[in-house]
Amino acid sequence: MKIDAHQHFWIYNSTEYSWINDSMNVLKRNFLPQDLLIEINNASFDGTVAVQARQTINETKWLLKLADEYDFIKGVVGWVDLCSADELKKQLDGFCKSPKFVGVRHVVQDEPDLNFMLRDEFLNGLSILKDYNLTYDLLLFPKHLQVANKVVKMFPEQKFVLDHIAKPFIKNKVIDPWHEDILKLAENKNVGCKLSGMVTEADWQNWSASDFYPYLNIIFEAFGTDRLMIGSDWPVCTLAGNYSAILNIVIDYLNDFNAIDKEKILGSNALNFYNL
């Protein structure tokens, strides 16, 4: 089974999706399961993990409703208020009634405080996730990696996955200090990584597959083949190419890998990580 471990849905409006600026007009419309189903069928993928795009409880409810309606949505990584001691357990108790609620994400990259993840209330929220058998998606910029390393060391039994290889500066071909910080983060065996979101860190109009290989080489050196999973970041990826072309960046990179490793990265690692 091939699994796209990272995609989004939304009903567009300019207020809730203010991050979609005028350079991203292609994203200023609705992106719904029936749209993605066409894409995954064309790419011969079997299922996806839908990930939150807004920090609202209502979106998490909506994603779980979509997952009930569409079998190809194998799991939902939603948003809960990790910083609210009063509400968090109530939210988790409710969402975990759905077997497709598999993980949690907070948009840390947008937090003005570089040390946001080290706040006591956030750490307390993270400490609860293991009790519910939930994963945590790390949405970061390179500048957050050192803090993330501190956080994941605090919770060695908690499963974490790094989204979008931490968004290195691919367009400008910058490797360091991202390289060093990735190697340190990957020393924590409870952390995986999604091979996703790379194309939007490159030149949207003029990228080639070779632009990503120096970064992929480092990621594979750091995480090996047991902790990596492919993701499209659809529909954000459509800023720079079509669905199949984006997935093919990783698929083509895997050409010389053995069949077992290909199967892991294209599906079974995501199935195991998220308990799909």
* 151-187: pLDDT as tens digits: 999 999 999 999 999 999 999 999 999 999 999 999 9
Per-residue model confidence (pLDDT) at position 86: 86
pTM equals: 0.96
- How many CB atoms within 10 Å of residue 67? 23
CA–CA separation, 236 vs 91, rounded Å? 28
CA–CA separation, 2 vs 230, rounded Å? 9
Strand residue runs (E) in the chain: 3-7, 47-51, 73-78, 101-106, 135-138, 160-162, 191-195, 228-230
Per-residue model confidence (pLDDT) at position 171: 97
Say if residues 243 and 237 touch (Cβ distance below 8 Å).
yes
Per-residue model confidence (pLDDT) at position 85: 83
Convert the pLDDT of each residue in 241-251 to its tens digit.
Answer: 999 999 999 99
What is the pLDDT of the chain when averaged over all its residues? 97
Domains and CATH numbers, the chain: 3-273 (3.20.20.140)
Q: Which mean pLDDT values do the consecutive 10-residue runs of the chain (276 residues) have?
A: 98 92 95 98 98 96 98 98 93 97 95 95 97 97 97 98 98 97 98 97 96 98 98 97 97 98 98 96
Per-residue model confidence (pLDDT) at position 194: 98
For the four alpha carbons of 166, 255, 274 and 187, in that order, the dihedral sign comes to: negative
